[in-house]
Amino acid sequence: MYVLNANHISKSYKTAGETMRILQNVNLQVMKGEMVAIMGPSGSGKTTLLHVLTGVDTPDDGEIVIGGETFSQLTEEEKAFFRRKHMGMIFQDFQLLESLTVKENILLPLILERKEADIQQERFSRIADVLGIEKLADKGITEISGGQKQRVAIGRALINEPDIIFGDEPTGSLDRKTAGDVMRCMKQMNQRSGISFLLVTHDAYTASFCDRVLFLQDGNLAKEVKKENTADNFREDIWKTLCGLGGGKDDLF
């Protein structure tokens, strides 16, 4: 069963009188409980694809179905309410509100939904326990580390129990060890709750935590690598595929 089904997605931008085609007829499916990564050389259209899929940007053409609802046909107002209930988002630069505490940041989606206090408390305790941030609950955002911030961002994306979580370079601001911790966290949540993940990353290590990696090249989905053997083999396959597409060492590590 597909959680995300995107068909024939195209997107172009006009710059200085010139039309640049960023995405060309992209088809993409994510199954329920699946963890998928999108990789590709710089400028291949990874972030644009994610923006289009999450409604941050509108596609020129194509259809996006999330959880059985044709997301691309919703009005802005409907998209907002849909996003609130069915989608979670994680950003490279965390995008947490510094004026709020860790707990308040995580609870924001529930507060926007006007959920009762006992539901808020119950969900927060559950998620904080899994993410290991119970003791940080009352701390300010400026008082915690980068890895902890990303855990808070993951907690915020998970709190409304969405169908799918989109991550834009979720480990981009973190060192290798912290990135590993954060990805293990995400994998754990994915396996426990069955929430699907679609992550855009340039890091083969991060992508190796996923079940499947899709490779974008010049706005097209060029290749797909599935995790069939060990993590090391999977990483090797990712690395080879990306090198074959013209991605350099900088795109991998």
Partner 1 sequence: MTFFDISRKMLKAGFYKYRLYFLCNLSATALFCCFAVISTNRTFMNASIVNSSISNNIYLPFFLSAVFLGFFLPVSCQAFLASRKQEYGVMFSLGMSRKEAFGNLLFENVIISVLALAIALEAGTVLSFLFFSVIIYAIDVHGVQWQFCPEAYKLTAVLYTVVVAVAFILNAGRLMLDKIGTLLKAQYRAEKTGKIGTFLCRIAPNYMRFHLVEWLFVRRHKKEWGCRYVLASLIIAVSVMLTGVCVTLYPAFLQDAKSYSPYDMVYSEIYGMNQVSVQDVLHILEKNGVTVEQVIQLPYIRDDVFNYLPVTEINRDFGCDYQIQEGEFLNLFQYNLEDGYEHNIQPVSTVTISGDRKLQSVGTDVKILFNQNPTFADKTLIINDSDFEKLSADITGSAGIANLFQFQNWEDSYAGVCEVKEYLQESNQLNEDEQTYYELSSKVEKYQDAKKSGQFLLFLMAFVIGLMIMAEFLLIHSRIQAEKEENSRVVCSLRMLGMIDKEMVKCLCYKNFLRFIPPLVVGTILSFLPSYYLNESYGMGTNGILAGIVFGVIMTVGIFVVIRRYSEKEEKLYESGFIIQGRGFFERIF
Output DSSP code: residue 160. Answer: T
Q: Which of 80, 119, 175, 248 binds partner 1 (CB under 8 A)?
A: 80
Q: CB-hemisphere CA count at 13 Å for 157?
A: 31
Interaction pattern, residues 161-200, with partner 1; x per rule: CB under 8 A: ----------------------------------------
Stretch of 15-23, 81-89, 197-205, 239-247 contacting partner 1, by CB under 8 A? 81-89
| Residue 246 CB contacts under 8 Å (≥ 6 apart), including other chains | 41, 217
Question: Taking the CA atoms of the chain, what radius of gyration do you get in angstroms?
Answer: 18
Closer residue to partner 1 in complex, CB, 74/243: 74
Query: What percentage of the chain's residues is helix, strand, coil (to nearest 5)?
Result: 45, 30, 30
Q: Which of 7, 24, 33, 57 binds partner 1 (CB under 8 A)?
A: 57
- The residue count for binding partner 1 (CB under 8 A) is 37
Give the separation between CA 86 and CA 30, rounded to whole angstroms. 14
The conformational region for residue 120 under phi > 0 = left, psi -120 to 50 = alpha, else beta, is alpha
Closer residue to partner 1 in complex, CB, 30/157: 157
Q: State the minimum distance, in angstroms, from the CB of residue 42 to partner 1.
A: 18
Q: Which of 31, 56, 137, 144 binds partner 1 (CB under 8 A)?
A: 56
Q: State the minimum distance, in angstroms, from the CB of residue 50 to partner 1.
A: 10
Output DSSP code: residue 36. Answer: E
Give the separation between CA 158 and CA 150, rounded to whole angstroms. 12
Q: State the minimum distance, in angstroms, from the CB of residue 175 to partner 1.
A: 18
Output DSSP code: residue 136. Answer: G
Q: Which of 21, 32, 85, 235 binds partner 1 (CB under 8 A)?
A: 85
The two structure tokens encoding residue 78: 């409907």
Q: State the minimum distance, in angstroms, from the CB of residue 140 to partner 1.
A: 6
Residue 151, interface with partner 1 (CB under 8 A)? Answer: no
Distances (CA, A) of 125 to 90, 130, 132, 165: 20, 9, 10, 20
| Contacting partner 1 within 89-148 (CB under 8 A) | 89, 91, 95-100, 104, 107-109, 111-114, 117, 120, 140-142
Instruction: Check if the beta carbon of residue 204 is closer than 8 Å to that of residue 213.
Output: no
Task: Kindly list the residues in this chain that would bind partner 1 in the complex (CB under 8 A).
Answer: 51, 54-57, 76-77, 80-85, 87, 89, 91, 95-100, 104, 107-109, 111-114, 117, 120, 140-142, 156, 160
